[in-house]
Amino acid sequence: MSLIFDRLRTRGARSTRRPAAVPGGACPYSHAHVHGHLVPEEPPGRPAPAALDDRFADHFTDPRQAADFVRQFHLEQPGTGDPAERIRAVLDEIDRTGTYEHTPAELAYGAKLAWRNAARCIGRLYWRSLVVRDLRHLGSADDIAAECFAHLRTATNGGRIRPVVSVFAPDRPGRPAARILNQQLVRYAGHPGPDGGWTGDPAGAQLTARARDLGWKCAEEPFEVLPLLVQERPGERPEWYELPEDTTLEVRLLHPDHAWFAELGLRWYAVPAISDMTLEIGGVRYPTAPFNGWYMGTEIGARNLADADRYDLLATVAGRLGLDTSSERTLWRDRALVELNVAVLHSFQEAGVTMADHHTESERFLRHIAQERRLGRPTPADWSWIVPPVSGGLTPVYHRYYDPVDPSARPAFVAREPW
């Protein structure tokens, strides 16, 4: 039997769009002299047109951030020449419109730099390989949903996962762009039970409730893929879309040494595509820019399936292993956690789906740091995120310090502002 579980999920032969009912209850730079080049102190004041939404008039682009990015782009891209002319054109466009438009090359490189600057990501060695899909001309819910499904197909790549970002229309002064409400393009629903327990993933509970209010019908199963919710404008009801059957590759979890593990009925999806962060490049904000790499095994085995506020499976696994759970000193949690992670790594490997283990990825991260150092660049890193949640002290990333994190570093993927 194939270890790919429901490679073609039965979710309908096409994307489904439903009319929705309204649910119930529902860093700028501080310097004016950047890298030896003067930048205007402030853009001329340009009031937002009366027809625009005053709540979002602050989506004007900071010219200093724009100039700084253009300068970095030209510095790191051989053959692009002197940035002075492009900076003048960008500043003039900001003066006239409040913002500016990136060239396709600037957008692609800016997205890659945002990954390189991600202080919490251990997989940055591969930042140059990011596939950037330029979809800035699209802003409707239907178009966004269709291209998100195309994103998943491209990223899945038959199991050989590719890092991909899909960049949709940016925020403009007074005109915020559409948002995806899901945390990830693929996520499991969560349903609270009357006894305080859960069916499915508690992390998906809020979106599950929102989708049900909008008319989504669910079966309340442990691994039920949520629909995609897209909201075009503030205050408007979101549209929801079932994920087509060919977009969600899932792996059934088995253990190489324990046949009973299959009886737990566990599985997980192959592509972790974050969809609730803003991509910020040179002062321009793209609030709809889903992006993915591939999983490191501990993300599933030590967090998603093990955390007490997620699937909370350690006691279940310990019971099937026959471990003594009467005392914490027996280390039953630790032993169950290791076996859960063994199952995750084994299952993805047998299924031919890309996944990293925490030992190998730690070594690769140190290679990335060395490469960046040779190029004269620092590698800011958040130690608490870089060190894996299993056997941290056994990995080389544990035993060192890192360059401090600069929250104002751009380009970057940043927490998305609320409507």
d(CA 68, CA 281): 10
Handedness of CA 268, 270, 272, 273 (dihedral sign): negative
Active-site hit among 11, 294, 361, 410: 294
124 catalytic per annotation:
yes
Contact 206, 83 (CB under 8 A): no
- Alpha helices by DSSP H, listed for 247-403, are 297-298, 314-321, 332-351, 358-374, 383-386
Torsion angle in degrees (nearest 10) through CA of 298, 301, 305, 309: -40
Residues with Cβ within 8 Å of residue 57, at least 6 apart in sequence: 47, 48, 173, 174
Helices and strands per DSSP (H, E), number in the chain = 10, 18
Instruction: Judge whether 377 counts as a catalytic residue.
Output: no
Please tell me which residue in 121, 147, 179, 242 is annotated as part of the active site.
Answer: 121
Do residues 155 and 161 lie in contact, with contact meaning Cβ atoms separated by under 8 Å? yes
Tokens 């032969």 belong to 13
Residue 141's H or E segment, with its range, is helix 141-156
Beta-bridged to residue 165, according to DSSP, are: 132, 291
Q: What share of the chain is helix, strand, coil (3-state, %, to 5)?
A: 35, 15, 50
Catalytic residue among 239, 242, 299, 361: 299
Active-site residue 27, yes or no? no
Of these residues, 71, 124, 172, 285, which one is catalytic? 124
Q: Which amino acid is at 362?
A: S
CB atoms within 10 A of CB 181: 17
Pairwise CA distance, residues 353 & 375, whole Å: 33
Decide if 218 is catalytic. no
**Closest C-alpha among 220, 294, 307, 216 to residue 251:** 294
Residue with tokens 């327990």: 197
| CA quadruple 108, 109, 114, 118: dihedral sign | positive
**Sheet strands (E) in 168-238:** 179-180, 190-192, 198-200, 228-231
Residues designated catalytic: 121, 124, 294, 299
